Structure 1
Amino acid sequence: MPDTQAAGAPAETVHVPLGDRAYDIVIGPGVLHDAGRRIAAVAPGAACAIVTDENVARVHLPALSASLAAAGVRATPVVVPPGEASKSYAMFETVCDAIIAARMERGDLVVALGGGVVGDLAGFAAASVRRGMRFVQIPTSLLAQVDSSVGGKTGINSPHGKNLVGAFHQPRLVLADTAALDTLPPREFRAGYAEVAKYGLIDDPAFFAWLEENHRAVFAGGAARVAAIRASCAAKAAVVVRDEREDGDRALLNLGHTFAHAFERITRYDGARLVHGEAVAIGLVCAFAFSARLGLASGQDASRVAGHLRTVGLPTAIRDIPGWDAGAAAILDAMAQDKKVRRGALTFILANGIGRSFVARDVDAAAVRAFLDDALREG
């Protein structure tokens, strides 16, 4: 459970102990303005290619550029269009070529300034250009601060599915400026909150209970927000250290995501209809409802999950997705392209209750289809 008393410090650090690839996650208001000093400390003498999107560049690039200049760090911005469509082969090529054109050497840095899309794209470019450059994450969305910026997963999308092309490439530093979240549209902040709640649902029922009591304070900002982000990053870091390349425990971080990725694929990653965190919220509800249907979890726990996510304003049913017209067969087909499919068998993260999730392999497709049929009928 987060300690909000300790959250008043200007910045807190979560260490990710991965041997010679260890790094710190620095969390707090205003850390973006100190980025130049921190980056120069982890990579003395290095230059930076800053990968960001058009929206984030308008709001945060001037402060980062000024901080790097004050620290004597040469920086070149690489600005891409906002949205999931930028996680494409074409944009990956554009970013890689821009980094090379900026005369970045292997010892220089790629800095991702933005949300999860920018982080995934920039990280994959860093893993690829000159066979691997150093990488810094400066996430500016809640979802990126608590999830995608930590753990080294990078990648782009394929027409066949999300994140199917990529690499594991750990950052050298993560700077999570909690004040940057004040510039987010409310919808984007809510979407990121789904990933915060996920950590409680995986293996920390006390954290989920704390969120039920304190979610308004998390949304308002201040100590509770820092505490929630710190707890989420610490939870993810602990899993990453145990299973860096998702051979075992790390799969638990995909709670709700087998459903979520299918919903995103069917909506063709159209952020106007569905953003990732909203898909995750519906996926979490589906995972617990399916677990209850199988007799693994109680209906009370499933209702509690749906109730909390609904309370904070997140969608909780498949029919909540605007313009939804796909059936259970289409969802199952989309699931078949998920990275967690092993030898054609569906893998889900299911739960015996809140905070008691587990990896379920060889899940019966007929049972999934029957559940989806009922979920679609019920709304």
Structure 2
Amino acid sequence: MGEVRVSLADHSYTIYIQAAGLKQVGRLMQEMPFSKKALIVTDANVSPLYAGILADSVATAGFIPHILVVEPGEGSKSLATADKVFTKAISIGLDRRSPIIALGGGVIGDLAGFVAATYLRGVPFIQVPTTLLAQVDSSVGGKTAVNHPLGKNLIGAFYQPQLVMIDPLVLDTLPERELKAGLAEVIKYGVIADAGFFDYLTRHADMILKRNPGVLAEVISRCCQLKAAVVAQDERETSVRMILNFGHTIAHAVEGVGGYSEYNHGEAVAIGMYGAALLSSSLGLCSTAASTAVQQLLAAMGLPLTAPGYGINELLGYLARDKKVVDSKVNWVLMQDIGRVTITQDVSEEQIRVVMSQLTRTN
């Protein structure tokens, strides 16, 4: 079993990376001061594959699992769906020591985490991510949220899990599109913090796409290490943690304009990273070679680079409402080189429009 420790004083926790790890969740729960009832939140895609395995593990360890299945997709990251989870928690009598377990991708993790953070002013939370994107990014660090019609992740809380169990074997059933979506976040870590890891991804792109288990385990572990190190320095995103938003400013705008349905989160992040790389080189912050390297790796992983036909003014409208805006200025995370980024507000609307025109151009 691989382990990565997230060091956050009195709410530190461990990320476990283990093949067939779903079967070990109940045993790990026995080591914690939980009540007997537990609520597993999952979606209709994941439930028939893995909910039974997880529930059996929880029950074998002496707990009483209840399962709530919601609709898959970004539409479930809403106050309406959160209300369904609250209602289930109340109806089965969850108390302040009853764990809520997220079994699914980033949407389920964000939704269940938001409910855990706010139900009875906070109950234990466990992450069991089943997508690559969630395993390398969203399940680690304690960001929980639901969306609002006017913007993504605008209603939420920082709330750390008690533990994270990552089972790489579940990626065998992950659709190809979802695997590639996760690779966008993987590439992000190389760009923002580790040039050596970026080079590793470049050299192993084919093996990653073929789901080589050893390479995937290495990728997951390194991403978790990098994110844990950043989160330990800045849990609530007041300084260095902002670098994890590389590509996300444009990404959230792309998702919003597309109604959270045309591009999934990882695809939007890929478009956003390409946009951020173009903006970085156009501002003279990084070399054209560095920007091109990002473009080439994204393309090698089969990720989109542009959103043809999207309206520039619509995208700019979403940028203005982004949760990273402070005093009407966007905190842009931009490249200085592969493995090194900076945060700046010194970007004009004209410069943004030039990049947006490249991202939305139809050929």
Using the size of structure 2 for normalisation, the TM-score is 0.97
Residue 334 of structure 2 contacts residue 343 of structure 2 at CA under 8 Å; is this kept in 1?
yes
| CA deviation string 1:120-158 (max 9, x = no partner) | 000000011111001000000000001110000001000
Residue 269 of structure 1 contacts residue 275 of structure 1 at CA under 8 Å; is this kept in 2?
yes
Q: Specify the alignment match of 1:139 in structure 2.
A: 129
Counterpart selection for 1:268 from 246, 251, 259: 259
Residue 50 of structure 1 contacts residue 110 of structure 1 at CA under 8 Å; is this kept in 2?
yes
Give runs of ≥4 in structure 1 deviating > 6 Å: none
Deviation of 1:326 after TM superposition, in Å, equals 2.6
Residue 35 of structure 2 contacts residue 95 of structure 2 at CA under 8 Å; is this kept in 1?
no
| CA deviation string 1:273-329 (max 9, x = no partner) | 21000001111111111111111111111111111111111111222xxxxx33222
Find out whether 1:255 has 2:246 as its counterpart.
Answer: yes
When residues 375 and 269 of structure 1 are mapped into structure 2, their CA distance, relative to the original with a 3 A threshold, is closer
Counterpart selection for 1:129 from 119, 130, 148: 119
Counterpart selection for 2:339 from 343, 355, 367: 355
Residue 140 of structure 2 contacts residue 227 of structure 2 at CA under 8 Å; is this kept in 1?
yes
Counterpart selection for 1:301 from 290, 294, 302: 290
Deviation of 1:45 after TM superposition, in Å, equals 4.4
Counterpart selection for 1:242 from 215, 226, 233: 233
Find out whether 1:281 has 2:270 as its counterpart.
Answer: yes
Q: Percent identity?
A: 43
When residues 45 and 89 of structure 1 are mapped into structure 2, their CA distance, relative to the original with a 3 A threshold, is closer
| CA deviation string 1:170-215 (max 9, x = no partner) | 0000001000111100100010011011000002100000111112
Q: Specify the alignment match of 2:153 in structure 1.
A: 163
Deviation of 1:44 after TM superposition, in Å, equals 4.6
Q: Specify the alignment match of 1:329 in structure 2.
A: 313
Residue 20 of structure 2 contacts residue 167 of structure 2 at CA under 8 Å; is this kept in 1?
yes
| CA deviation string 1:331-375 (max 9, x = no partner) | 111111101111111221001111111111242122111222244
Find out whether 1:150 has 2:140 as its counterpart.
Answer: yes
Residue 347 of structure 1 contacts residue 363 of structure 1 at CA under 8 Å; is this kept in 2?
no
When residues 231 and 72 of structure 1 are mapped into structure 2, their CA distance, relative to the original with a 3 A threshold, is same
Deviation of 1:221 after TM superposition, in Å, equals 2.9
Q: Specify the alignment match of 1:316 in structure 2.
A: 305
Deviation of 1:378 after TM superposition, in Å, equals 6.9
2:31 partner amino acid: A
1:125 partner amino acid: V
CA distance in 2, matches of 1:51, 1:113: 6
Aligned to 1:304, the other structure's residue is in SS state: helix
Q: Specify the alignment match of 1:346 in structure 2.
A: 330
When residues 257 and 45 of structure 1 are mapped into structure 2, their CA distance, relative to the original with a 3 A threshold, is same
For 1:23-62, list aligned pairs within 5 A. 23-62=13-52
CA distance in 1, matches of 2:11, 2:55: 26
When residues 302 and 378 of structure 1 are mapped into structure 2, their CA distance, relative to the original with a 3 A threshold, is farther
CA distance in 1, matches of 2:34, 2:331: 44
CA distance in 2, matches of 1:165, 1:45: 28
Give unpaired runs (5+ residues) of structure 1.
1-10, 320-324
Aligned to 1:333, the other structure's residue is in SS state: helix
2:127 partner amino acid: Q
Residue 346 of structure 1 contacts residue 364 of structure 1 at CA under 8 Å; is this kept in 2?
no
For 1:104-123, list aligned pairs within 5 A. 104-123=94-113
Provide the aligned length of Structure 1 versus Structure 2: 362
Residue 252 of structure 1 contacts residue 358 of structure 1 at CA under 8 Å; is this kept in 2?
yes
Counterpart selection for 1:101 from 75, 91, 97: 91
Q: Specify the alignment match of 1:70 in structure 2.
A: 60
Q: Specify the alignment match of 2:72 in structure 1.
A: 82
Residue 21 of structure 2 contacts residue 166 of structure 2 at CA under 8 Å; is this kept in 1?
yes
CA distance in 1, matches of 2:212, 2:8: 31
CA distance in 1, matches of 2:296, 2:33: 46
CA distance in 2, matches of 1:44, 1:131: 16
Aligned to 1:52, the other structure's residue is in SS state: strand
